Amino acid sequence: MNDLARSLSGYVCEPGSAEYAKVVAIDNGRTRTPPAYVVRANSELDVCLAVDFAQRTGLPMTVRGGGHSAAGYCLNRGGIVLDLGLMKGMRLDKDQKLLTVQMGATWADVYKFVADSGTSLIPVGGGCLTVGLPGFLQGGGYSFVSRSYGLGSDNVTRIKLVDATGMTRVLADDALDPDDRDLFWACRGGGGGNFGVAVEMTLQLHAPAAKTVLGGQLSFPLKRAEEVIARYDAWAKAAPRAMAAYGYVGYDVDPAEPTRKIPFFRITPVFNGEYAEGVEQLKDMLKLDPFDVRLHSMPLPTLESTIGRSTLVGDRLAYIRSGMIGDLGWKPEMIRSVQKMMDTAPSLDSFVVWTHGRGRVDDEALRGQGPYPHRDKRYVFELKAIWNDPARTRANVEWAYDFGEALSSEFHGAYVNYIDPLQKGWATAYYGDNLEKLKRIKKVADPNGFFRFQQSVDSAFEPDVSRPLDLSPLNRTFV
């Protein structure tokens, strides 16, 4: 390790140091898996050297981008964590509307850089600003403007990837090597951590329809869910592409009694256009008499910063489940299941949120862009169980697992960016009919399985979901 450390423009940190603690502290206090070493890469060469070192020593290696891995797979026990957080370089081509970004950047870094450039252009990025780019983009990546411009992965035009041999490869649709073209396809929806270390990507930016977007929230008591969610569901299906209307179910302060929390349903609209037009689009929802309405006109990154804070976990403990809701949308029995499960939540910090899909995401022209299989789904459902006491882990995980199972008959797959170690049939749920092609590409690019983890595309792992639930998959990176 000393020889590697002397070769780096970055540095190596070990347990006990402040830098080590910073890297291990991902956005989920349930996961604090301790690696033997953290390599803080400061260049593409550093990444190549780290991969070569791990190959020669036989030490397992995982890669940390922004530290928002839902299952903590960016960490590992006893191996090397390659942290990209020092690599934040960016350059903007305003004429071509292209932004080239190193993969240690978070969306906060990207939004600030683009805003400081004096251009009104926007990337198709994450709603939570502390999320890193590599995992988000390699898993598909929904943005508040995806219904206008497609997935984040659809807007990646070029990738620099360090492969399992420590060699840098340039991936693009027009790459000369067909294996590089295959890898480009796989890395735009095939999940982070599977095929190599993405060190740089070039992103297509867009000129928004107006200088600001309409964004905000309309809140209703959860006891009105059957009425309101049904009306919302019909309205959202007919909404124009410029309108994305996310849903949220959780607990918030009772406006009539600030000392208590009540369950509520919230619509989070984001309209990519003039504020007045957005308000006009919302008139049918406003007629439902929400008890709280907050609508803002602000640049998209500012809105994302405002909304994104609500989903952070920090040092609390969390477990995440997901599911894709298809053409039938929110059926009455699904709404009742949500009401029932939220009434029995062990923690009032837990919540449900769903992404409003389709629009540009479902365009025929984008269907071959990558392996993301859920373009036709109306909503991406996410359940985030959050609690504080480690002794309450089983109660919260089993509640969240049962919540997901109560809706599972209506789910059509799951979202790899909300990767779940207890997901039954996870590989097909995440990748659908593209799984076998992804496995073939993986075998060619990484024949010895250097880039591996419990739910990498070539893993045979399947969770034991008999009762009592085996929670050990939640506490490890490798099988």
Residue 93 CA to residue 162 CA, distance in Å, equals: 24
What distance in Å separates the CA atoms of residue 191 and residue 43, rounded to the nearest whole number? 23
Q: What is the DSSP code string of 439-465?
A: HHHHHHH-TT--S--TTSTT-------
Q: What is the pLDDT of residue 301?
A: 84
Count the Cβ atoms, other than its own, within 10 Å of residue 60: 20
Residue ranges of the chain with pLDDT lower than 70? 310
What are the structural domains, with CATH classification, of the chain?
Answer: 2-83 (3.30.43.10), 90-204 (3.30.465.10), 213-426 (3.40.462.20), 433-475 (no CATH)
CB 80 within 8 A of CB 64: no
Q: How many CB atoms lie within 10 A of CB 154?
A: 25
Q: Residue 258 has which token pair? A: 């600030």
> pLDDT digits over 286-328, tens only?
999 999 999 999 998 888 877 777 678 888 999 999 999 999 9
What's the pLDDT score for residue 351?
A: 96
Dig out the tokens for 154 from the structure: 């659809």
Say which residues have a Cβ less than 8 Å from residue 92's Cβ, sequence separation at least 6. 98, 99, 100, 113, 114, 117, 119
Owner of token pair 């898996």: 33
Residue 239: helix, strand or coil by DSSP? coil
- In whole angstroms, give the CA distance from residue 226 to residue 53: 57
pLDDT at 209: 94
pTM over 0.85: yes
Beta pairing partners, 222: none
Which pLDDT score, from 0 to 100, does residue 304 have?
84
Residue 289: left if φ>0, alpha if ψ -120 to 50, beta else—which one? left
Report the pLDDT value the prediction gives residue 307, as an integer from 0 to 100: 79
- Predicted local distance difference test score (pLDDT) of residue 417: 97
In the DSSP assignment, the letter for residue 30 is: T
Cα separation, 276 vs 154, in Å, equals: 30
The pLDDT of residue 1: 86
Cβ-Cβ contacts under 8 Å for 425 (sequence gap 6 or more): 462
Q: Which residues does 252 contact at the CB level (< 8 Å), separation at least 6?
A: 219, 261, 262, 264, 266
CA 418 to chain centre: 6
